Amino acid sequence: MPVAARARFFPLFCGAEARNQLEIQRCHTLAKDHIAKAKTAMDKFLQSVESNPHRRDAAEPCYSLHEPGDLVYGTALVFHGFGQSPQQCQLLADYLFDNGFNVYQPCLARHYLGNPTLNWPQVDLKPELKEKIRQNFLKDPVLAKELYISAEDTMQRVRSLSPEMSDIIAALDQGDRSQDFQRFFDSSHLDYFTEAEQRLEEVRALPGPIFAIGISMGGATALHLANTYPDTISKVVAYAPLLKTMDDARREFALAIGPLDVKETGWEPSLQFTVGCLVAIDLCGTRISQSNIDNLAKKVATLLLFTANEDSADLPTQEKFAQRLKAISSDGVPHLHYTYRRELEVPHAMIHPNERPIANKLWRRMYQETFRFLTTGKARQDELDSLRQDETLPQVP
């Protein structure tokens, strides 16, 4: 079970957003009992994962806690992206832990289990509709040949699979709050949010503020937690949050065939999931981007980092969301965002230097500005495209 509980000295930066000394002392007085309570809650969950016969190799949730009496900035709840595991965020988690944060790295809903078709959240057609439409899909000589097709008649073929098909597609595009969605679909997509809320409960006892951090679907999850629990989450950092999947034509096709158990190969060659799993994350992102975000905007500081070199999330939706936050924010609640220019070649999987074929050369400064934001509520956006580390901040190895 990958759990760390290490003691380490670190400097305590006291910016405008830092807690005062009285609050720090109070946290230390209560730290021993609170840490024990949080460990009991987290260990119970980790043990349930460890004992699950369907657990996915090298995808276990984990945490790193400082010793009672150590000064801490608080606890960072760090969420990985769709199809990934906590290992995706390990370098960032290590940096935060080494410089004064307790860190809990949960998995997105049931990503700690293998067989995504069976275990991961997804969107499914009601049984009385599904089998008939699926069989028609498999009989179509074009649709059954290739998942994402550029032929002009693709959607015409999809719509002809069933008389209800146009209404089904419209229901998905309207989002999960529509009556038609409830009429056509069985869906577990909101498990992404409810399971994240359970993980938040497990760290409530830890001293100091709680920060929600995530990439892609993990970034969307972090934003959901902050908007739902604005008095619990102190700040949010979201890297390339998936608020809508990119490419409208491809998205429309995926929404249409997703609930038909059509398979897609993940980033791991051995990992296959139904397109219904992709529909699930799109619906979650849509729910956030279309929700009332007054709680988030007026109470929780945010740092949102986007990239023009996207291959997954829709950049215009991200930037529109960032502008909404600023437009309705309260005085004293900073909402910062930055978009990496295309020529910088920062990939969607931006927090790891070599996760995709395109290397992210700017990850060290990204980590530093994340640290600055979490500890002071500020970030040097003008320095995020710098290869040089800031000597006044903890250095990234």
Domains and CATH numbers, the chain: 3-115+189-242+292-383 (3.40.50.1820), 123-187 (no CATH)
pTM score, two decimals?
A: 0.91
3-state class (DSSP) for residue 20:
coil
* Greater pLDDT, 247 or 353: 353
16-25, 165-174, 185-194, 212-221: least confidently modelled range = 16-25
Q: What is the pLDDT of residue 151?
A: 46
Q: What is the pLDDT of residue 348?
A: 95
Q: How many CB atoms lie within 10 A of CB 308?
A: 13
Phi-psi region at 115: left, alpha or beta (left = phi > 0; alpha = psi -120 to 50): left
Q: What is the pLDDT of residue 167?
A: 92
Taking 90 as the threshold, does the pLDDT of residue 156 lie above it? no
Taking 60 as the threshold, does the pLDDT of residue 7 lie above it? no
Taking 70 as the threshold, does the pLDDT of residue 152 lie above it? no
Cα–Cα dist 328/322, whole Å? 10
For the record, the structure tokens of 328 come out as 């309705």
E strand residue ranges, the chain: 3-5, 62-65, 74-79, 101-105, 123-125, 185-187, 210-215, 233-239, 263-265, 272-274, 301-307, 335-340
Mean of pLDDT values over 88-111: 96
Q: Quick check: 161 and 134 in contact, CB under 8 A?
A: no
Taking 80 as the threshold, does the pLDDT of residue 6 lie above it? no
Beta pairing, strands 272-274 & 263-265:
antiparallel
Cα–Cα dist 207/26, whole Å? 9
Cα–Cα dist 187/252, whole Å? 18
pLDDT band at residue 28 under the 50/70/90 scheme: very low
Mean of pLDDT values over 278-290: 94
Q: What is the pLDDT of residue 18?
A: 40
Please list, in sequence order, all residues whose beta carbon lies within 8 angstroms of the beta carbon of residue 215, skipping any fewer than 6 positions away. Answer: 79, 80, 81, 88, 89, 238, 239, 240, 241, 349, 350, 351
Cα–Cα dist 172/168, whole Å? 6
Q: What is the pLDDT of residue 177?
A: 87
What DSSP designation does 245 have?
A: B
Mean of pLDDT values over 284-300: 95
Cα–Cα dist 191/112, whole Å? 14
19-28, 89-98, 112-121, 297-306: least confidently modelled range = 19-28
